């Protein structure tokens, strides 16, 4: 029996007793089984027979006993992993209830590691051998020096060779001589212990006082959420690492969520410098065997710190004491398919069930967190200045209405001059456009009107080859007009706001001698390749960086002193209620890229509407004014965070069937009306057809305190989904358009 299998559960089922087992199979109930020989604990991971198959499950409680006892089969075996803890079962139940997700899907989310039931596999590791070196070489010395330095530690072949900076064959040679010993050990090894006081920078007074508060909260052993706000480079990471240190001292586990895998490598390096060892990693770039190791070690408390993507929230922590959500405003924390949850909110839930602390770090928190801090639900700590000499860049608008810019060009003369200067000074410039690929917008140069789709609120995208305007949302298309539909001036319509690739073409023409680098997530085969590129660029291997949103996310480019935002207006249109908020955050983040080191930075924003309130708020830097105004507007409209919303997407291959269901749902919404909720729609979903399936959307709006989940479940439960009809319910949807 696993050592931790006895530690936390009081409920034990003797052999033959009925237990209810939750499996990851899409069934709507927990199934009865007989406890196996030797019995099992509540929460135990087990293998059970289901029809002709063997499936993974968790002992969820006593059996219901409503099956013919003669037909009830026995649990096949108990897996050699730590049982699921009570707070984890609670957490999964609560998330399932909140997001209206079946428990089987929740269990799948919590067991995303292969081979949990496999017997432990072995692998070769290397440690100091006994034989003396007969023939010394520099490479061999390096290997032995590493083994010496780390005392009794053993390494994998790759770890040892990498650490010593030699090839694997050098290590193998040493094994033959007996100077290095090769042994077999279980593959799923514990992670090396982190040392809370290993490294650590001298903190600025600002940082020190924030760190003290976090440390004290951490030591309290209770739940609490803190918003740690400060511009990029103000030293937030150093501060929350102090909370991690305190968490480690308490003997508890820490989880740090990052929005982007590309950021992990740099962060891991910082953790290693701070705590002497690397933490565990959990994201899509981690190998399957390593995933299993992380999952198991987290469960038995042999991984003290995990750095990962949102799904790391569902790891079976033995004693989770702290969750940090870095760049908490980032939209990638919202899972948009499968189980629709927001990792930021679920982190808060998980922490509250674990008496753990949450730190939400951001330069530009989302309105929800801002409002929670205002109301006192969250504590707020603010770092006001950039760390060291770097200061916030100077921010200016370039009024595109008065720039002399020929068609098919997006880099204004003013911006070009500024870039020229930086290149001449040996510094880097970033041209930012938040659109991947090659997708322009059509705008009237006389009045600024942008041509939209008649069917939905999206802008039309020009397709040169087809000589048509197309809506990427509903598929509607029309010939390219030559008169502006708004001001009726002729021949002023032109495509602007190119995608990142198109912008690169222009840059190559403008700066034929410059080193130009395009940084867009879809242009790299792997996170590793992307990371390598980012490092080379940071080291100065480019004069001009052309990038999408990717570069807005926390990478450090010391030589970068100028950011040109190609289209600051992008994102201000559309019916997304968070459009203004997103634009505001993104522009501030991008501007934060400039002048991270000694040289003072500048951010230039090209805009056709410099008087727009969002643009003015960005330039003016009066954040509180922006948030207050934004909060007012949302309050008045009764939308999140001051009201509740749910999006329902229906889909089927038959368009009539989807609309029929949508209409029926809109007509028979008593459970929702009873709680005072309103139902909008059905309307074609923003992406009206995906892979041959038609999609229709309904939107439910309710007061903040209304019991919306229960009503939604009752409402949705009235309808049978015939044929290939599907229904997805998204609580607190992040995208509306
Ligand atoms: P943020 O997380 O707010 O963007 P970081 O914690 O990454 O800021 O700090 C920005 C830079 O300043 C990093 O390179 C970091 O190593 C450095 N830095 C932050 N605090 C200190 C400190 N107290 N002493 C020395 N360097 C620091
Ligand atoms: Zn016009």
pLDDT tens profile 398-409: 999 999 888 778
Kindly state if the Cβ of 201 falls inside 6 Å of ligand 1: yes
pLDDT tens-digit readout, 193-227: 999 999 888 999 999 999 999 999 999 999 999 99
Q: Are residues 378 and 247 in the same domain?
A: yes
pLDDT at site 225: 97
Q: Calculate the alpha carbon distances from 253 to 50, 297, 324, 703 in Å.
A: 35, 11, 12, 37
With contact defined as beta carbons under 8 Å apart, do 484 and 444 qualify?
Answer: yes
Write the pLDDT tens digit of every residue in 453-485: 776 556 777 655 456 677 665 566 788 788 888
Rounded mean pLDDT, 689-695: 70
Q: Do 64 and 104 have their domain in common?
A: yes
Question: Does 5 have pLDDT greater than 60?
Answer: no
d(CA 736, CA 336): 12
Ligand 1 mean position, distance from CA 386 (Å): 8
Sequence-ordered strand ranges (E) for 293-409: 305-308, 320-326, 357-362, 379-383, 394-399
Which of 529, 716, 733 lies closest to 639 in space, CA to CA? 733
Structure tokens that stand for 521 in this block: 């997530």
Average pLDDT of the residues in 338-350: 90
Q: What is the pLDDT of residue 624?
A: 78
Residue 296 lies in a domain: yes
**How many angstroms separate the CA atoms of 364 and 360, rounded?**
11
Least confident of 177-186, 260-269, 490-499, 694-703: 490-499
- Judge whether residue 544 has pLDDT over 90: yes
Out of 2-6, 184-188, 302-306, 503-507, give the one with best mean pLDDT: 302-306
Domain-embedded: residue 585: yes
pLDDT over threshold 50, residue 737: no
User: In which band, very low, low, confident or very high, does the pLDDT at 242 lie, cut at 50, 70 and 90?
Assistant: very high
Q: Is residue 12 part of a domain?
A: yes
Q: Is 529 within a domain?
A: yes
The mean-pLDDT minimum among 135-144, 184-193, 669-678 falls in 184-193
Q: Which of 233, 325, 589 to mutate to test the pocket of ligand 1 (most atoms within 8 A of CB)?
A: 233
- Domain boundary pick from 341, 363, 383: 383
Structure tokens belonging to residue 160: 């040892």
Check whether 669 has a pLDDT greater than 50.
Answer: yes
Q: What is the mean pLDDT of residues 351-357?
A: 96
Instruction: Report pLDDT for 66.
Output: 84
2 or 506, higher pLDDT:
506
Enter the DSSP assignment of 276.
S
Assess whether 540 and 611 both reside in one domain: yes
**Of the candidates 349, 321, 346, the residue with the CA atom closest to the CA atom of residue 253:** 321
pLDDT for the residue 2? 43
pLDDT reported for residue 511: 95
Does 49 fall in a domain?
yes
Residue 230 Cα: closest atom of ligand 1: 3
207 lines ligand 1 (CB under 6 A): yes
For residue 257 the two structure tokens come to 């969520």
CATH number at residue 573: 3.40.50.300
**Count of domains in the chain?**
5
Is the distance from CB of 285 to CB of 528 less than 8 angstroms?
A: yes
Q: Among residues of the chain, what percentage have pLDDT more than 70?
A: 87
Tell me, using a 6 A CB cutoff, whether residue 611 lines ligand 1: no
**Beta strands 224-230 and 357-362: pairing type?**
parallel
Domain co-membership, 595 together with 702: no
Query: Relative to the CA of 592, which ligand 1 atom is closest?
Result: 4
Of 254, 230, 231, nearest in space to 242 by CA: 254
Residue 8, pLDDT above cutoff 90: no
User: Pick from 246, 248, 254: which is nearest to 218 by CA?
Assistant: 246
Structural domain range at position 37: 7-110
Helical axes 264-275 vs 527-538, angle rounded to 10°: 70
Burial, 376: exposed, middle or buried (Cβ in 10 Å; 0-12, 13-18, 19+)?
A: exposed
Q: What is the pLDDT of residues 106-165, one digit of tens each?
A: 999 999 888 887 776 777 889 888 888 778 888 998 998 888 877 667 788 988 898 889
- Neighbouring residues of 125: CB distance < 8 A, sequence distance ≥ 6: 154, 155, 156, 182, 183, 184, 185, 189
| Residue 592 Cβ < 6 Å to ligand 1 | no
Confidence of residue 636 (pLDDT cuts 50, 70, 90): confident
Which pairing describes strands 320-326 and 379-383: parallel, antiparallel, or unpaired? Answer: unpaired
**Confidence tier at 497 by pLDDT (50, 70, 90):** low
Atom 14 in ligand 1: residue holding the nearest Cα: 233
* Ligand 1 contact via 23 beta carbon (within 6 Å): no
Q: Which two tokens stand for residue 61?
A: 């409680």
Q: Judge whether 333 lies within some domain.
A: yes
How many residues are recorded in the chain?
Answer: 737
Please tell me the least confidently modeled range out of 19-28, 321-330, 595-604, 678-687. Answer: 595-604
CATH number, residue 145: 1.10.10.10
- For ligand 2, the distance from its centroid to the CA atom of residue 482, given in whole angstroms, is 10
Residue 154 and residue 41 share a domain: no
Is residue 548 included in any domain, yes or no?
A: yes
Q: Is residue 482 part of a domain?
A: no
Per-residue confidence (pLDDT) for residue 306, from 0 to 100: 98
- Nearest Cα neighbor of 459 from 480, 443, 483 is 443
Q: What does pLDDT average to over the chain?
A: 85
Q: Which residues pair with 20 in a beta bridge?
A: 32, 61
Same domain, 351 and 306: yes
Q: What is the CATH number of the domain that holds 92?
A: 3.40.1440.60
Q: Are residues 503 and 536 in the same domain?
A: yes
- What would the pLDDT profile of 45-72 be if each residue is shown by its tens digit? 999 999 899 999 999 999 988 888 888 9
Compute and round to an integer the Cα radius of gyration of the chain.
Answer: 28
Domain co-membership, 323 together with 238:
yes
Q: pLDDT-based confidence at 10, cuts 50/70/90?
A: low
* Closest C-alpha among 580, 528, 522 to residue 549: 522
Q: Same domain for 145 and 240?
A: no
Reported pTM: 0.76
CA dist., res. 374 & res. 365, Å (int): 12
* Strand ranges, E, within 91-217: 122-128, 180-186
- The verdict on the CB of residue 589 being under 6 Å from ligand 1 is no
Ramachandran region, residue 295 (left: φ > 0; alpha: ψ -120 to 50; beta: rest): alpha
**pLDDT at residue 298 is higher than 70:** yes
Question: 230: Cβ below 6 Å to ligand 1?
Answer: yes
pLDDT band at 245 (very low <50, low <70, confident <90, very high): very high
For the segment 263-271, the average pLDDT, to the nearest whole number, is 88
Separation of CA 16 and ligand 1 centre (Å): 58
Is residue 511 located within the same domain as residue 554? yes
What pLDDT shows up at residue 364? 84
Q: Which residue has the tokens 């229709």?
A: 696
Sign for the CA dihedral angle at 292, 318, 219, 222 comes to positive
Tell me the CA end-to-end span of the chain in Å, nearest whole number.
Answer: 53
Q: Please give the DSSP secondary-structure letter assigned to residue 10.
A: -
Is 80 exceeded by the pLDDT of residue 557? no
Q: Is the peptide bond before 641 cis (omega within 30 degrees of 0)?
A: yes
CATH value at residue 673:
3.30.70.600
Mutational pocket test of ligand 1: of 229, 325, 387, the residue with most ligand atoms within 8 Å of the beta carbon: 387
Q: Are residues 341 and 369 in the same domain?
A: yes
Residue pLDDT, tens place only, 66-98: 888 888 999 999 998 889 999 999 999 999 999
pLDDT value of position 125:
86
Q: How many angstroms separate the CA atoms of 657 and 724, rounded?
A: 10
pLDDT of residue 399: 93
Shared-domain flag, residues 512 and 616: yes
Band of pLDDT at residue 186, cut at 50, 70 and 90: confident
Domain boundary among 110, 140, 158: 110
* Domain end among 348, 364, 383: 383
How much is the pLDDT for 1? Answer: 40
CA distance 310 to 346: 9
């Amino acid at each position: 029996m696993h050592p931790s299998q006895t530690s936390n559960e009081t409920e034990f089922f003797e052999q033959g007793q009925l237990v209810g087992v939750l499996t990851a199979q899409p069934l709507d109930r927990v199934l009865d089984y007989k406890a196996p020989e030797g019995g099992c604990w509540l929460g135990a991971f087990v293998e059970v027979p289901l029809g002709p198959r063997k499936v993974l499950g968790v002992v969820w409680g006593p059996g219901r006993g409503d099956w013919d006892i003669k037909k009830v089969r026995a649990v096949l075996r108990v897996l050699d992993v730590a049982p699921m803890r009570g707070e984890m079962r609670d957490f999964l139940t609560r998330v399932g209830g909140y997001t209206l997700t079946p428990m089987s899907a929740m269990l799948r989310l919590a067991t995303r590691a292969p081979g949990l039931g496999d017997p432990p596999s072995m692998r070769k590791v290397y440690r100091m051998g006994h034989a003396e070196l007969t023939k010394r070489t520099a490479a061999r010395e390096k290997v032995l020096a590493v083994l010496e330095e780390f005392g009794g530690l053993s390494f994998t072949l790759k770890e040892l060779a990498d650490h010593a900076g030699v090839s694997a064959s050098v290590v193998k040679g040493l094994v033959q001589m007996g100077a290095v010993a090769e042994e077999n050990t279980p593959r799923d090894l514990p992670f090396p212990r982190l040392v809370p006081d290993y490294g650590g920078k001298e903190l600025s007074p600002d940082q020190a006082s924030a760190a003290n508060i976090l440390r004290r909260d951490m030591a309290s052993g209770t739940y609490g959420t803190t918003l740690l706000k400060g511009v990029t480079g103000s030293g937030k990471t150093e501060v929350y690492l102090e909370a991690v240190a305190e968490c480690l001292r308490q003997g508890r586990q820490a989880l740090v969520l990052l929005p982007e895998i590309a950021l992990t490598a740099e962060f891991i390096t910082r953790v290693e410098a701070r705590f002497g060892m690397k933490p565990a990693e959990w994201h899509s770039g981690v190998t399957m065997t390593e995933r299993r190791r992380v999952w198991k070690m987290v469960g038995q408390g042999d991984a003290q710190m995990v750095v990962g993507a949102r799904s790391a929230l569902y790891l079976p922590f033995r004693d989770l004491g702290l969750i940090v959500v870095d760049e908490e405003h980032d939209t990638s924390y919202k899972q948009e398919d499968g189980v629709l949850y927001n990792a930021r909110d679920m982190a808060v839930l998980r922490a509250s069930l674990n008496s753990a602390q949450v730190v939400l770090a951001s330069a530009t928190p989302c309105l929800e967190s801002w409002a929670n801090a205002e109301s006192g639900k969250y504590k707020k700590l603010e770092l006001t200045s950039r760390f060291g000499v770097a200061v916030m860049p100077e921010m200016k608008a370039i009024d595109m209405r008065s720039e002399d810019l020929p068609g098919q060009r997006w880099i204004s003369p003013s911006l070009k001059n500024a870039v020229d200067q930086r290149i001449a000074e040996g510094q880097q410039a970033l041209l930012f456009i938040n659109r991947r690929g090659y997708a322009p917008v059509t705008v009237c140069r006389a009045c600024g009107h942008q041509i939209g789709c008649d069917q939905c609120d999206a802008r039309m995208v020009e397709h040169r080859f087809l000589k048509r305007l197309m809506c990427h949302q509903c598929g509607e298309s029309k010939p390219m007009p030559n008169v502006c539909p708004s001001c009726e001036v002729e021949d002023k319509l032109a495509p602007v706001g190119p995608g990142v690739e198109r912008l690169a073409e222009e840059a190559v023409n403008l700066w034929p001698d410059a080193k130009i680098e395009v940084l867009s997530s879809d242009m790299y085969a792997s996170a590793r390749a992307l990371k390598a590129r980012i490092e080379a660029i940071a080291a100065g291997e480019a004069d001009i960086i052309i990038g999408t949103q990717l570069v807005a996310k926390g990478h450090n480019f010391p030589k970068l002193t100028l950011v040109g935002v190609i289209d600051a207006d992008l994102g201000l249109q559309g019916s997304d209620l968070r459009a203004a908020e997103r634009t505001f955050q993104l522009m501030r983040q991008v501007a934060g890229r400039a002048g991270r080191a000694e040289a003072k930075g500048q951010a230039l924003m090209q805009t056709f509407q410099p008087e727009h309130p969002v643009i003015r708020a960005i330039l003016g830097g009066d954040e509180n004014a922006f948030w207050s105004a934004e909060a007012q507007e949302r309050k008045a409209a009764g939308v999140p965070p001051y009201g509740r919303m749910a999006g329902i997407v229906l889909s089927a291959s038959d368009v009539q069937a989807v609309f029929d269901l949508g209409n029926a749902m809109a007509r028979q919404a008593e459970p929702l009306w009873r709680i005072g909720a309103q139902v909008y729609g059905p309307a074609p979903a923003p992406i009206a057809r995906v892979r041959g399936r038609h999609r229709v959307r309904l939107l439910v709006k309710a007061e903040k305190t209304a019991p919306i989940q229960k009503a939604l479940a009752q409402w949705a439960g009235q309808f049978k989904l015939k044929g290939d009809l599907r229904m997805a319910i998204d609580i607190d949807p992040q995208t509306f358009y």
